[in-house]
């Protein structure tokens, strides 16, 4: 199907663009009353994720209501560990919780890499197909997965954590087990992402939300090694690597075969552009908290970020997911400011 707006794909490939494309991480859900209305008709988050028609509906909401340049499929990174054998619950106000965790070799039976993707994750693929049919080419659809290190963190810890110390402990006490588990997650993730592309995803993003808790050397060994494998296996569509907090690894990330490097708000766009040159697109990176400011200030902060760009190779986004209590009007101001900004490159 022909895309009416392929700006984000061109920006990812470093091709010419008329203006910077813009979307928001976590745009599907949370901030929109229209999302909460759909969610309240169902038993909870998981039912929404697992019901393709409704998942497609909330995927399209930000395209209709916020006028973003891309949709991101409504799902979660935790569908992968679940497909491998670790069931999770999403507990209201608390977040994910796994009854079983992976802490020793005998637990590896709950981390099965030999799974049939269509069988276990077919509901996501169906949501992608329905979304594209309903979008009718208005904007590209982004597919995604968690990066192996972040998925490993949830499989070992069993829940969110400030330090993920059980996960980091395993790197020192049983690195062979850690590599085995990371390898299995990587295998499944490659097949899952390829299936998303086949179902219709125009672009992919890897979320490494917990990259920043590892030192540079450990991130190279337990994080980037597996990200590289994934990036090398995907040549169908542009791919973004978002390694939150991995400031000292940005150069190494840019050296993988990804198209786009996602930046969090602590990362300095100018310094990173100088470091990596023009060969990769940068995505980001307004502080999500900037959207709590007045409309005038949101505008000012957004223009300040745009003025720091010295290249056309940018996809505008926040430096992390949009916070649940942000006023959608502020999001609209952010998006409008990006769309009205005159490109200098």
Interface with ligand CP3 (CB under 6 A): 25-30, 39, 45, 72, 74-78, 90, 95-96, 144, 160, 207, 209, 321
In the complex, minimum distance from the CB of residue 325 to ligand CP3, in angstroms, rounded to a whole number: 12
Nearer to ligand CP3, 111 or 142 (CB): 142
Q: Is 300 a catalytic residue?
A: no
Q: Which of 6, 76, 187, 264 is catalytic?
A: 76
Q: Which of 10, 13, 19, 30 is catalytic?
A: 30
Which residue shows structure tokens 């005998």?
106
The three-point CA angle 302-297-341 to 5° equals 35
Q: Which of 26, 138, 159, 300 is catalytic?
A: 26
Q: How many CB atoms lie within 10 A of CB 261?
A: 24
Q: How far is CA 52 from CA 58, 155, 170, 253, in A?
A: 10, 25, 37, 33
Give the list of residues 6+ apart from residue 140 with CB closer than 8 angstroms, or none: 3, 5, 6, 8, 9, 69, 70, 71, 202, 203
Distance, in Å, from the CA atom of 21 to the CA atom of 313, rounded to the nearest integer, reads 10
Nearer to ligand CP3, 246 or 273 (CB): 246
Distance, in Å, from the CA atom of 104 to the CA atom of 174, rounded to the nearest integer, reads 8
Give the list of residues 6+ apart from residue 271 with CB closer than 8 angstroms, or none: none
Q: Is 129 a catalytic residue?
A: no
Write the burial class of residue 42 (CB in 10 Å: 0-12 exposed, 13-18 middle, 19+ buried): middle
Nearer to ligand CP3, 14 or 97 (CB): 97
Using DSSP, state whether 72 is helix, strand or coil: strand
Using DSSP, state whether 141 is helix, strand or coil: strand
Nearer to ligand CP3, 131 or 333 (CB): 131
In the complex, minimum distance from the CB of residue 294 to ligand CP3, in angstroms, rounded to a whole number: 25
Q: Which of 20, 35, 88, 154 is catalytic?
A: 154
Q: What is the DSSP letter of 328?
A: H
Distance, in Å, from the CA atom of 225 to the CA atom of 241, rounded to the nearest integer, reads 13
In the complex, minimum distance from the CB of residue 164 to ligand CP3, in angstroms, rounded to a whole number: 11
What tokens appear for 303 in the block?
């223009």
In the complex, minimum distance from the CB of residue 268 to ligand CP3, in angstroms, rounded to a whole number: 20
Distance, in Å, from the CA atom of 14 to the CA atom of 165, rounded to the nearest integer, reads 39
Q: Is 30 a catalytic residue?
A: yes
Q: Is 154 a catalytic residue?
A: yes
Q: Is 76 a catalytic residue?
A: yes
Using DSSP, state whether 44 is helix, strand or coil: coil
Nearer to ligand CP3, 97 or 255 (CB): 97
In the complex, minimum distance from the CB of residue 207 to ligand CP3, in angstroms, rounded to a whole number: 4
In the complex, minimum distance from the CB of residue 250 to ligand CP3, in angstroms, rounded to a whole number: 17
Tell me the catalytic residues: 26, 30, 39, 76, 154
């Amino acid at each position: 199907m022909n895309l009416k707006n392929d700006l984000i794909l061109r920006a990812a490939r470093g091709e010419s663009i008329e203006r910077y494309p813009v979307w928001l991480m976590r745009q599907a859900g949370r901030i929109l009353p229209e999302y909460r209305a759909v969610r309240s008709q169902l038993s909870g988050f998981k039912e929404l994720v697992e019901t393709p028609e409704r998942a497609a509906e909330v995927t399209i909401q930000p395209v209709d209501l916020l006028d973003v340049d891309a949709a991101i499929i409504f799902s979660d990174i935790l569908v992968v560990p679940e497909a491998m054998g670790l069931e999770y619950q999403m507990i209201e106000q608390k977040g994910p919780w796994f009854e079983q965790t992976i802490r020793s070799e005998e637990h590896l039976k709950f981390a099965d890499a030999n799974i049939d993707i269509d069988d276990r994750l077919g509901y996501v693929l169906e949501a992608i197909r329905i979304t594209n049919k309903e979008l009718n080419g208005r904007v590209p659809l982004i597919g995604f997965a968690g990066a192996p290190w972040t998925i490993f963190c949830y499989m070992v810890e069993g829940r969110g954590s400030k330090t993920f110390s059980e996960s980091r402990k395993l790197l020192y006490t049983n690195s062979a087990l850690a590599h085995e588990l990371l390898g299995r997650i990587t295998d499944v993730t490659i097949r899952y992402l390829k299936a998303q592309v086949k179902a219709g995803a125009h672009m992919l993003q890897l979320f490494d939300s917990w990259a920043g808790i590892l030192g540079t050397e450990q991130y190279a060994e337990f994080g980037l090694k597996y990200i590289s494998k994934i990036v090398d296996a995907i040549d169908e569509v542009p791919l973004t690597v978002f390694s939150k907090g991995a400031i000292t690894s940005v150069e190494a990330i840019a050296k993988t075969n990804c198209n786009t490097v996602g930046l969090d708000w602590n990362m300095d766009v100018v310094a990173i552009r100088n470091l990596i040159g023009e060969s990769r697109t940068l995505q980001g990176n307004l502080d999500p908290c900037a959207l709590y400011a007045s409309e005038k200030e949101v505008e000012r902060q957004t223009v300040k970020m745009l003025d720091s760009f010295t290249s056309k190779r940018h996809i505008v986004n926040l430096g992390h997911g949009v916070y649940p209590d942000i006023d959608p009007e502020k999001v609209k101001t952010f998006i409008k400011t990006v769309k009205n900004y005159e490109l200098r490159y």
